[in-house]
C-alpha cells in the first residue's frame, strides 16, 4: 500500500492522558506512522499544553477551539477539517459522532476519502440536553451516509447501524498491550494503598458510567478496603459535586481525579478488583486495560462488556446494569475469594491479549482505507 497522508480529527489530542478515543488515536496513529504513512493528529489547546510538533512519528497540529460544552468538539473539528483539506489529505479519519458533523466537506468538496470511527452512541449520553441530542442524532445519521467507510468498535453498534440505517459497517475494536505490573509505590505514598487493599474505577465522571452507583454499593460492603475513583469531569461539574457529597459519607472512598502514566499502571496492577458499572459504552478501553493486567473485573451486563467478558465467572463477574444490590453482591464475591478470582482473571487476560491486538487494528484499518481509495459508494 502506498504511503498515505492521513488526518485524524475528533480526538482531543496526543500524547493521550485521559480519554479512550485519545488512546485509540495515539496507538493507531503511531503504528500507521511506523508503516510509513504521514499521520497528522489535530489537537485541542485545552488538552495538549506542551505544543510539540511531532510525537511517536505523528505530526501534531494545534487548532484553536471554543472550550465550552457544546462548541468545543464541533468548532475544533470544523477548523481541523479545513486544515486537512488544505494539506491535501488522502484520508480524513473522524473519531466519534459529534466531531464527524463536518465530514460532508471533504466528502463532497475535496478529493480526500472520508472514514469515520463511531466509538459509541453519543446522543444517549446523559450530559446532553434535548437540543444537543437532536444535533447528535443528526450526526449519527450522517455517519451512516456521508463517509466512504464507517467503522464501529463493537458488534452491538454494527447491529444498530444495520437495523436503523441499513448500513453495513466494519467492526474494528480497540486494542491493548500487556499491562506493566508495577509495585504500589506511588499509590502507596499518595493514598496509602497496598496490593489487594482496594477496588478501582477508571473513567470520566459522567452519569452513564455510574460511579455514583458504585459509591452507593460500596457503602453497603463491610471491611476496611478502599475504593479509588480515578477520573474527572467531562463538562459534568454538577454531577461531580453530587459524587463528592456522596463520597464524603464514606472515608474509605478516594476521589483521585484523573490518573495516568505509571501511577495508573500501579492502580490497575494492584487492585483487588476493577469495577465498571456503566449503563452505556462503546467498547471501553479501560476494561481491556484492566484485563491486560490480570485484575479481577466486576462489570455491568451491557452488550459491550459481555462482548469482552462473556458470561459471569471467576475473574469476570457480571451484574445487572443499574442494580446497586447486584453490584454489591458481585463485589462481595470477588473480595471474599481473591485466589479463585485471580486465577479466572489470568485466563481472561490471556484471552483478551490474544483477541485485542493493536497490530490487528492497524491491519484492518489499512484495509478500510484501501477500500475507500478503490471506489466511492453511491450517494445515499
Residue 283 domain-assigned (yes or no): yes
Length of the chain: 380
pLDDT of residue 376: 59
* Dist CA 270 CA 274 (whole Å): 10
- Domain region containing 218: 186-355
pLDDT band at 317 (very low <50, low <70, confident <90, very high): very high
pLDDT of residue 49: 72
pLDDT band at 136 (very low <50, low <70, confident <90, very high): confident
Residues ≥6 apart with Cβ < 8 Å to 307: 154, 155, 156, 173, 283
Residue 181 domain-assigned (yes or no): no
pLDDT band at 378 (very low <50, low <70, confident <90, very high): very low
Residue 252 domain-assigned (yes or no): yes
Residue 27 domain-assigned (yes or no): yes
pLDDT of residue 239: 93
Same domain, yes or no: 116 and 169: yes
- On whether the CB atoms of residues 297 and 201 are closer than 8 A, the answer is no
The fraction of the chain above a pLDDT of 90, given in percent, is 83
Q: What is the mean pLDDT of residues 18-46?
A: 95
Residue 180 domain-assigned (yes or no): no
* Dist CA 241 CA 234 (whole Å): 13
Q: Does 61 have pLDDT greater than 60?
A: yes
Same domain, yes or no: 137 and 52: yes
Q: What is the mean pLDDT of residues 280-294?
A: 95
Residue 233 domain-assigned (yes or no): yes
Q: What is the mean pLDDT of residues 89-109?
A: 94
Name the residue with cell 481525579: 257
Same domain, yes or no: 361 and 351: no
pLDDT of residue 379: 38
pLDDT band at 10 (very low <50, low <70, confident <90, very high): very high
Per the structure, the count of domains in the chain is: 2
Amino acid at each position: 500500500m502506498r504511503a498515505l497522508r492521513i488526518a485524524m480529527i475528533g480526538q482531543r489530542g496526543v500524547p493521550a492522558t485521559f480519554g479512550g478515543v485519545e488512546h485509540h488515536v495515539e496507538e493507531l496513529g503511531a503504528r500507521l506512522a511506523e508503516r510509513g504513512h504521514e499521520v497528522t493528529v489535530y489537537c485541542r489547546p485545552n488538552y495538549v499544553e506542551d505544543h510539540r510538533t511531532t510525537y511517536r512519528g505523528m505530526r501534531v497540529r494545534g487548532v484553536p477551539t471554543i472550550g465550552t460544552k457544546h462548541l468545543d468538539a464541533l468548532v475544533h473539528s470544523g477548523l481541523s477539517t479545513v486544515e486537512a483539506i488544505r494539506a491535501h489529505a488522502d484520508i480524513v479519519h473522524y473519531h466519534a459522532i459529534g466531531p464527524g458533523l463536518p465530514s460532508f466537506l471533504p466528502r463532497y468538496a475535496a478529493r480526500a476519502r472520508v472514514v469515520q470511527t463511531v466509538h459509541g452512541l453519543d446522543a444517549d449520553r446523559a450530559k446532553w440536553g434535548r437540543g444537543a441530542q437532536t444535533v447528535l442524532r443528526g450526526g449519527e445519521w450522517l455517519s451512516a451516509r456521508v463517509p466512504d467507510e464507517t467503522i464501529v468498535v463493537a458488534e452491538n453498534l454494527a447491529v444498530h447501524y444495520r437495523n436503523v440505517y441499513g448500513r453495513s459497517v466494519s467492526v474494528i475494536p480497540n486494542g491493548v498491550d500487556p499491562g506493566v505490573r508495577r509495585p504500589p509505590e506511588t499509590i502507596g505514598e499518595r493514598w496509602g494503598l497496598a496490593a489487594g487493599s482496594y477496588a478501582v474505577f477508571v473513567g470520566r465522571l459522567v452519569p452513564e458510567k455510574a460511579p455514583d452507583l458504585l459509591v452507593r454499593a460500596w457503602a453497603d460492603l463491610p471491611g476496611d478496603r478502599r475504593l479509588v475513583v480515578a477520573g474527572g469531569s467531562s463538562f459534568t461539574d454538577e454531577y461531580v459535586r453530587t459524587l463528592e457529597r456522596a463520597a464524603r459519607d464514606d472515608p474509605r472512598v478516594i476521589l483521585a481525579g484523573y490518573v495516568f502514566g505509571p501511577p495508573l499502571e500501579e492502580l490497575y496492577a494492584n487492585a483487588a478488583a476493577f469495577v465498571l458499572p456503566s449503563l452505556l459504552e462503546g467498547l471501553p478501553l479501560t476494561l481491556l486495560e484492566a484485563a491486560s493486567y490480570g485484575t479481577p473485573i466486576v462489570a455491568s451486563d451491557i452488550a459491550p462488556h459481555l462482548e469482552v467478558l462473556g458470561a459471569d465467572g471467576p475473574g469476570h463477574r457480571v451484574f445487572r446494569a443499574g442494580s446497586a444490590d447486584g453490584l454489591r453482591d458481585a463485589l462481595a464475591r470477588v473480595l471474599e475469594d481473591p485466589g479463585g478470582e485471580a486465577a479466572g482473571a489470568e485466563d481472561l487476560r490471556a484471552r483478551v491479549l490474544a483477541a485485542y491486538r493493536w497490530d490487528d487494528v492497524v491491519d484492518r484499518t489499512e484495509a478500510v482505507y484501501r477500500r475507500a481509495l478503490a471506489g466511492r459508494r453511491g450517494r445515499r
